[in-house]
Amino acid sequence: MPGIIRFLGYVPFETGESLPERLKSYRQIHGLSSNKLAHILSLDEGTLWRWETGRRRPAEKYVKGIQALLATARPRDQ
């Protein structure tokens, strides 16, 4: 996906506004597997899946780190 985004010059899909949508979009935009993003966030892949699907909300201890990560990657043209 990162190569397609570079070629097009924009993100060709909606990134959403909710935390689950933003997490999934971040992962897709950066071409990360669930396992890799889970590793970056220091958690297991199952926990990330539950966050991305909205089945669970992240504990407060993770929220600031997630928001900081997502803030560095907001698409400029959306």
Share of the chain above pLDDT 90, in %: 32
Instruction: Name residues whose C-beta falls within 8 Å of residue 21's C-beta, 6 or more positions apart in sequence.
Output: 15
pLDDT exceeds cutoff 60 at 78: no
Q: Write out the two tokens for 7.
A: 């070629």
Name the average pLDDT for the chain: 85
Predicted confidence at residue 36, as pLDDT, reads 94
Predicted confidence at residue 77, as pLDDT, reads 41
DSSP state of 41: T
Number of residues in the chain: 78
Predicted confidence at residue 73, as pLDDT, reads 65
Q: In the block, which residue shows the tokens 């924009």?
A: 10
Write down all domains in the chain, each with its CATH number in brackets: 18-71 (1.10.260.40)
- In whole angstroms, give the CA distance from residue 23 to residue 11: 15
State pLDDT tens for residues 22-51. 899 899 888 899 999 999 989 999 999 999
